[in-house]
Amino acid sequence: MFKLRWIGQNGFMITLGDKTVCIDPYLSNSVLNVDGFNRLIPPPISPSELNVDIIATTHDHVDHLDKETLKYTNFNKTFYLGPTSCVEHFKLLGIKEEKIIQLNAGNSIRLNDAVITAVYADHYKDSIGIIVNYNDITIYFVGDSLFNKRLFEVKSFNIDIIVTCINGKLGNMNYIEAAKLSKEINPKVGIPCHYGMFAENTEDPSNYKEELKNSGIKYFELEFNKTYNVRDIIS
């Protein structure tokens, strides 16, 4: 079973058969202390309830690699995946090297029948996007990124679903650019994310929906903390 659950910002729980991957879990209020931005929605679960096989972080920013989330997770069970800058942060948190997977842009790992690939993102140092292929469906999680034609390289993966930031602030593309990227890649479905967490850094997802009109791409808006069967999203 291929399932998807949005846990806020760029955070996603992905069920891949009997394995679970979590991308960029932000389950604290750390950004309030760092940038003065308060959460608009409560964490859907506590960090200690994040019982997953892999936690993947796309880059070393607090709302993506959050030490106040990660330090309460299961260091013995979970593997921690990310580019080099994230790996260095994992080590500082006391995560053992054998539980760390370094994944820079251009590299892939296999998790049973799923393939997880890191791809280029234009944001911070060695930021990555993440492509997940499972059960003949491919999802592209853009991560945080400015609009850049290098992102078009993922067309070779034959993307079925794009999950893209739309907020247009703090190093991310806006909804117009997100729609332009989506149209260039031409997936079956476009899903917006990275909105609704902070009043200072959000966007109305219906603007992205409007930009996708007449493109042939199905707009799909995930309900916060609801689990979806990925095939149902496409159909």
d(CA 19, CA 15): 6
| Chain segment 23-39, per-residue pLDDT in tens | 999 999 999 999 999 99
Domain count, the chain: 1
Is residue 233 domain-resident? no
Is residue 230 domain-resident? no
Average of per-residue pLDDT across 199-219: 98
Nearest CA to 134 out of 226, 227, 15 is that of 15
Is residue 232 domain-resident? no
Sheet arrangement for strand 79-82? 100-102, 79-82, 54-56, 19-23, 11-16, 2-8, 227-229
Any idea what the CATH number is for the domain that residue 44 is in? 3.60.15.10
65, 128 in Cβ contact below 8 A? no
Confidence of residue 195 (pLDDT cuts 50, 70, 90): very high
Q: Which domain holds residue 101?
A: 2-222
Is residue 146 domain-resident? yes
Cα–Cα distances in angstroms (integers) from residue 56 to residues 10, 19, 193, 232, in the given order:
11, 13, 17, 24
d(CA 219, CA 32): 32
| Chain segment 73-117, per-residue pLDDT in tens | 999 999 999 999 999 999 999 999 999 999 999 999 999 999 999
Is residue 23 domain-resident? yes
Is residue 228 domain-resident? no
